[in-house]
Amino acid sequence: MKKTILSIILLLTVCISGCGFSSSKKSSSASDGVKIMFTYSQEEGNAFRDTLAEGAQEYASSVGAVVECAYAEHSLEKQIEQIKTAQSNGYGAVMCIPEDASTARQLEAAAGDLPIIFCNNAPDDATLKEDKYIYCASDEGVAGELQAEYILNQFASKEEINVLLLKGLDGHAATVGRTRTLKEGLNGSGKKINYVFEDFADFDTDKAREEVNFAISKGIKFDLIACNNDSMARGAILACQDNHIDLKKVPILGVDATKDGCEAILAGEMVFTVYQPAAPQGAEAAKAAIELAKGGTITNFKSISKDKLHLWVPFERVDASNAKNYLN
């Protein structure tokens, strides 16, 4: 299903070789010669980031443009230098997963006249500008809403629910948005919701495993484990297995519908995730960056928000009934 969605966006399929510093042109168009710099915070091997980057490169290649990638190595200074390099070396626009979303003004200053399409980690709306500084992602709040909806359906007969909550990186847009709407949905249900354990596990499997093992060692009882992403859900699964907890009795939920997440659902280890369409996000961000690099406008894009500052690519529910569709 991921490939089907992406093919609709791209209109054609083009094979690429990862996110290196080149992307071969496959067609001749008005986009020929347009170069986009994509600087990102997550290291190579991060499944979501890799897929997003591939989606961007595939779209660019399909219209004769180039997306070149640069890993900022968790350094704001390095990311600023990468953007300055783009500004002085003939790039038409920048795609950016910011190291720190609160530094958007600094990143924009480094870009000079270049437009920036921010991805995955949202800067404050006050730093965005129509047809200049845009945020392209899925609306993080929707993921939390869908998790809350699933939990309330599964625990419809219970008046009290004990929730173990694993959050991502402190301050990250995904952490904030997903956690806020999950809690709003649960707390507004009229049920008694007890957050018996809640901590940041940094979107990391090992950290999540440690956190859940710690909670179990302290005798904390929980009805379910809600995680801001699938990697942490995987860590929660491992911790439950470490402690011989029956996963059929403790639902575990994630977000992103990664391959591991979908396989865990099909194996009965996890019950629910939310597909964050990484490749379509990358394609939409690249499409916008190329358009702005050519001096065009994105105000007529179907994904554009009413405020003209965001490009929203919808989330989708994933459970045992459709997880196999997201493995391709």
69 pLDDT above the threshold of 60 = yes
Q: Where residue 118 falls among pLDDT bands split at 50, 70, 90? A: very high
Helix (H, G, I), strand (E, B) or coil at 228: coil
Topology match between the domains 35-138+278-314 and 141-275: yes
- Asked if residue 98 has pLDDT above 90, the reply is yes
Single out the residue of 70, 223, 243, 99 nearest to residue 158, CA to CA: 223
Per-residue confidence at 48, pLDDT binned at 50, 70, 90?
A: confident
pTM: 0.74
* Residue 13 banded pLDDT, cuts 50, 70, 90: very low
Average per-residue pLDDT for the chain: 90
**What confidence tens digit (pLDDT) does each residue in 290-310 have?**
999 999 999 999 999 999 999
Looking at residue 30, its pLDDT comes to 60
Domain 141-275 sits in which CATH superfamily?
Answer: Response regulator (3.40.50.2300)
Could you tell me the pLDDT band of residue 276, with boundaries at 50, 70 and 90? confident
pLDDT of residue 49: 86
Mean pLDDT of 211-216: 98
Residue scoring higher pLDDT (226 or 44)? 226
Q: How confident is the model at residue 325 (pLDDT cuts 50, 70, 90)?
A: very high
User: Higher pLDDT residue, 26 or 246?
Assistant: 246
**Nearest alpha-carbon partner for 305 in 141, 102, 97:** 141
What type of residue sits at position 44? E
Domain parsing of the chain, residue ranges:
35-138+278-314, 141-275
19's tokens: 């996110």
Query: How far apart are alpha carbons 195 and 124 in whole angstroms?
Result: 28
Query: Coil, strand or helix: which one is 226?
Result: strand
CATH architecture of the domain with range 35-138+278-314: 3-Layer(aba) Sandwich (3.40)
Q: What's CA 113's distance to the chain center, in Å?
A: 27
| Pick from 12-16, 208-212, 243-247, 285-289: least confident | 12-16
Rounded to an integer, the average pLDDT of 180-190 is 98
